[in-house]
Amino acid sequence: MLRSLALITLSLACAPQAYAQAVEGAAKPKQLVLVSFDGAGDNALWARSRATAKEVGAHFTYFLACTLVMDRKTSAKSYQGPGQKLGRSNVGFGQSVEEVATRLHHIWDARQEGHEIANHTCGHFDGGNWTADQWDAEFTTFTSTLENAWAAIGKKDEEPQGWHDFVRGINGFRAPYLSQGDALTAAQKKHGFVFDATSITKGPAWPVRKDGIEHFGLPLIPEGPGDRPIIAMDYNLFVRHSMAIETPAKSAEFEERAYKAFRAAFDKQYEGERIPLQLGFHFVKMNGGAYWNAYERLLREVCKKDDVACVSYEEAMPMIDARRKEKSQG
């Protein structure tokens, strides 16, 4: 009898603490992880990223440069970026009809798998000083190029049903070199963009809504000896680690440094306010693939957690809106 009373008393004493922990756990929102890729060219990396996403249950955002769906022999000479010579692109063009066709299939298949395709201009030029008309022209070229991509390589018969609706529905953007000017917003509004992921923030930060567009920023995160802040993007790590010189002999070291930085940035938010964590990459295996290896390690560890969602920007926005409403009502 006395033992039973003691157990009841202990249970009652522990109940408030257990209840508080349960409420706290239930109230905590999911940690969002947003992984994106700029350029989206190399077909092998299309296949690799899609396989990784399937493995871990993630959706990515691919910021596509549209000259990569132009065949250099047939359609490249028709492209002229703002203030540029005819037939020039900073990221090149498709190298053959077969390569472009494979890329187009990846784009479509990725979209069917739940990934997001977004706009990274066409020729990957620095548009920081462009006028609104120049941005408008580049966005128009992007849409028309992608809409007619199958026909341009002579494979109209392979074009999936719904392709044109898909292209017209692309409404996200990141500027090449993270460079943007005052004229950009007017052109974005004209073309129906709902988010821009060009900014840089001091750390993980909530997007800022301006002129009807959600502005996301790649965060500065601590990295390496001294935890010096760096933009959470592979190219910036590449510059810091090896002065942008390929150094495959140190690939494992650079991978470990990048992984630790990514994991620490994730843990800080996961254990704290749970601000979305954004990480950016390119379709290039810099320093022997160190940074791709690092992000894949992170996602394999975190994406399958019940309270983590590895999502695209388009998926993140309604989740972020829901949190805004909760805060305003709370």
What is the DSSP track for 262-284? HHHHHHHHHTTT-PPEEEEEESS
Three-state DSSP class for 63?
strand
Q: Torsion angle of alpha carbons 163, 166, 172, 176, nearest 10°?
A: 0
Q: Give the pLDDT band of residue 330 (cuts 50, 70, 90).
A: low
pLDDT (mean) for 296-318: 98
pLDDT (mean) for 203-225: 97
- The sign of the dihedral angle between the CA atoms of 35, 36, 40, 42 is negative
pLDDT given at position 328: 81
pLDDT given at position 225: 96
With a pLDDT cut of 70, the percent of the chain lying above it is 92
pLDDT (mean) for 168-194: 97
| pLDDT over 50 (residue 103) | yes
| pLDDT over 80 (residue 110) | yes
| pLDDT over 50 (residue 319) | yes
pLDDT given at position 23: 40
pLDDT given at position 4: 44
pLDDT (mean) for 220-234: 98
pLDDT (mean) for 191-217: 97
pLDDT given at position 222: 98
Nearest to 278 by CA among 227, 244, 231, 228: 231
pLDDT given at position 12: 40
Q: Give the pLDDT band of residue 206 (cuts 50, 70, 90).
A: very high
The tokens of 240 are what?
A: 């810091």
Domain 29-218+276-289+300-329: CATH superfamily, name plus number: Glycoside hydrolase/deacetylase (3.20.20.370)
Instruction: Decide if 106 contacts 78 (C-beta within 8 A).
Output: no
| pLDDT over 80 (residue 10) | no
Q: Give the pLDDT band of residue 269 (cuts 50, 70, 90).
A: very high
pLDDT given at position 77: 86
Mean pLDDT estimate for the chain: 93
pLDDT given at position 26: 52
| pLDDT over 80 (residue 18) | no
pLDDT given at position 13: 46
Nearest to 262 by CA among 315, 223, 228: 223
| pLDDT over 70 (residue 14) | no
The domains of the chain are located at 29-218+276-289+300-329
| pLDDT over 80 (residue 296) | yes
Range 161-169 contact pairs with CB under 8 angstroms and sequence separation of 24 or more: 163/108, 166/108, 166/111, 166/117, 167/143, 168/143
Q: Give the pLDDT band of residue 74 (cuts 50, 70, 90).
A: confident
Q: State which amino acid sits at residue 154.
A: G
